[in-house]
């Protein structure tokens, strides 16, 4: 799993080297990619050398530099490579958005793919163990929760729905009084958007408001306790429908569009 994640990061690093924009256009730019690439997103993947992992595999399990636990490749508790995998030889990437991962307390640490995101993008990924999670209400106009449900919207509709959140202001309910600064901000933004049908393109000029995405890391049978938490209520909810999982440990009884955490990220 780590090998796949490391290899995937190589393509992102090369894009950075070529001056590709790594900002809040990230999600929307995916919508502009050719259909052939969307059908097979790994067709242009360029694999980095796996020599560092091959050497570590031959050496066997090694100590975590922080907790001294015996691990293979990385410590899934401390989110760092083990002693036989030099940090300088592991590629890291800069994500266009901040990622919060809420991990179920009963989720087996060694089976979690959320750790791979933290290893490869340590500055942009934060992992919380439920119920110790942040309060999101004040920032819900710039946050999305990735989770399927009856009120979920598609990726392409994120900008439209976030605009509605900004117009309303960040309120506990529709009946609450909205904060004046947000109302003024929304008015200015609406005046700049002369054509409401431009949607994504108009928001690109002023910068997408989406700044953080939340993922839930647990088995599908364990998600109810987290998704019903009052601190996550009122967040824009996104469902990923266009990708099929390639994860080797697919959960029986769930559709193949239900992705592992690292795949969703």
59, 243, 247, 258, 265 from 255: Cα distances, Å: 39, 11, 13, 6, 18
Residue ending a domain, among 90, 122, 154, is 90
Q: Which of 80, 93, 144 is nearest to 123 (CA)?
A: 93
Residue 2 in any domain: the answer is: no
Residues 82 and 115 both lie in one domain:
no
Q: How far lies 226's CA from each of 27, 57, 123, 154, 171, in Å?
A: 25, 36, 25, 21, 22
pLDDT at 225: 83
Residues 56 and 152 in one domain: no
Residue 24 lies in a domain: no
What is the domain extent for residue 141? Answer: 92-167+207-264
List Cα–Cα distances, 52 to 3, 48, 177, in angstroms: 10, 10, 57
25 in a structural domain: no
Are 104 and 235 part of one and the same domain?
A: yes
Strand order in the sheet with 212-217: 125-129, 98-103, 212-217, 143-146, 236-238
HEC states along 210-226? CCEEEEEECCHHHHHHH
Check the CA dihedral 154-155-161-166 and report its sign.
positive
Residues 153 and 225 in one domain: yes
pLDDT of residue 258: 77
| Run of H or E residues at 202 | helix 200-206
Rounded to 5 degrees, φ, ψ at 145 are -110, 125
Phi, psi (deg, nearest 5) at residue 13: -65, -40
Structural domain count, the chain: 2
Which pLDDT score, from 0 to 100, does residue 109 have?
84
CA distance 41 to 242: 12
Examine the domain organization and report whether 230 and 103 are in the same domain.
yes
Neighbouring residues of 98: CB distance < 8 A, sequence distance ≥ 6: 124, 125, 126, 211, 212, 213
Beta bridge partners of 98: 212
Residue 196 inside a domain? The answer is no
Does 159 lie in the same domain as 83?
Answer: no
Q: Do residues 243 and 152 both lie within one domain?
A: yes
74 found inside a domain = yes
β-strands 80-81, 74-75 pairing: antiparallel
Same domain (yes/no): 148, 56: no
Is there a domain that residue 22 lies in? no
Q: Which of 66, 90, 114 finishes a domain?
A: 90
Beta strands 70-71; 125-129: pairing state? unpaired
Q: pLDDT tens, position by position, for the chain (265 residues)?
A: 444 444 444 444 444 444 444 444 544 554 455 556 566 767 787 777 889 999 999 999 999 999 999 999 999 999 999 999 998 888 888 999 999 999 988 888 888 889 999 999 999 999 999 999 999 988 888 999 998 888 888 888 888 888 776 655 544 444 333 333 333 333 333 343 444 444 443 444 344 478 999 999 887 777 888 888 899 988 989 988 878 888 777 667 777 777 888 888 8
Peptide bond into 131 cis (omega under 30): yes
* Residue 28 falls inside a structural domain: no
Same domain, 107 and 54: no
Look at residue 182 and tell me if it is in a domain. Answer: no
Residues 110 and 68 in one domain: no
User: Could you tell me if 84 and 98 lie in one domain?
Assistant: no
| Residues 134, 217 within the same domain | yes
């Amino acid at each position: 799993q780590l090998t796949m994640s490391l290899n995937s990061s190589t393509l992102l690093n090369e894009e950075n080297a070529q001056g590709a924009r790594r900002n809040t256009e990230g999600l929307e730019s995916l919508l502009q990619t050719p259909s052939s690439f969307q059908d097979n997103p790994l067709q242009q993947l360029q694999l980095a050398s796996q020599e560092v992992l091959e050497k570590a595999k031959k050496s066997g399990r090694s100590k975590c530099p922080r907790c001294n636990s015996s691990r293979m490749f990385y410590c899934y508790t401390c989110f760092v490579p083990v002693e036989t995998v030099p940090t300088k030889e592991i590629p890291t990437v800069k994500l266009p958005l901040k990622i919060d991962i809420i991990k179920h307390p009963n989720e087996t640490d060694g089976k979690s793919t959320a750790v791979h995101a933290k290893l490869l993008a340590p500055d942009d990924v934060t992992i919380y163990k439920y119920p110790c999670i942040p309060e999101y209400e004040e920032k819900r106009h710039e946050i999305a929760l990735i989770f399927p449900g009856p009120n979920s919207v598609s990726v392409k509709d994120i900008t439209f729905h976030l605009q509605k959140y900004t117009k309303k202001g960040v309120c506990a309910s529709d009946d609450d009084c909205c904060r004046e600064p947000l109302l003024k901000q929304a008015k200015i933004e609406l005046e700049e958007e002369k054509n409401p049908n431009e949607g994504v393109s108009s928001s690109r000029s002023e910068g997408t408001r989406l700044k953080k995405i939340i993922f839930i890391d647990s088995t599908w049978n364990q998600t109810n306790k987290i998704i019903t938490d009052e601190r996550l209520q009122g967040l824009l909810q996104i469902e990923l429908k266009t990708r099929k999982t390639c994860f080797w440990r697919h959960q029986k009884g769930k559709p193949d569009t239900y992705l592992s955490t690292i795949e969703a990220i």
